[in-house]
Amino acid sequence: MTYNQGSMLDWSECTSVERSPDVVSGAWVFRGTRVPVKALFENLEAGARIDEFLSWFPGVQRQQVEAVLEHAGKSLAETT
C-alpha cells in the first residue's frame, strides 16, 4: 500500500493525531509533536520497523503509532 496524502482516510476521528494551520503547513501530525503522520507510512514503506521510527522521532509514543495504524487499517477495511 502506498501512502497517499490525498487519501480518503478521515484522520479527524483518530485522537492520536491533530492538525493546525500553524504546524507543518497544516499536515496531520502526531498529537503534541511536529512529526507528520505521513512520515510513519513513508518510513514503514521504506522498510523501517516501528521501533526504528520511534527512535528516530522520540516525541512520538508507541501508543500513537499503534492507534494510527489501527485507524488506517479500519478505514481501509471499510473502503474495500
Q: What 3 state SS string does 21-32 have? A: CCCHHHCCEECC
Q: pTM here?
A: 0.84
Kindly report the CATH class assigned to 11-79: mainly alpha
- Provide the pLDDT for residue 4: 47
CA pair distance 61, 73, nearest whole angstrom = 19
- Provide the pLDDT for residue 76: 76
- Provide the pLDDT for residue 78: 73
CA pair distance 24, 22, nearest whole angstrom = 7
- Provide the pLDDT for residue 8: 65
Tens-digit pLDDT profile for the chain (80 aa)? Answer: 444 444 568 899 999 999 999 999 999 999 999 999 999 999 999 999 999 999 999 999 999 999 999 999 988 777 66
Q: What are phi and psi of 28, to 5 degrees?
A: -70, 130
Residues 6+ apart with CB under 8 A from 19: 11, 12, 26, 27, 28, 29
- Provide the pLDDT for residue 23: 94
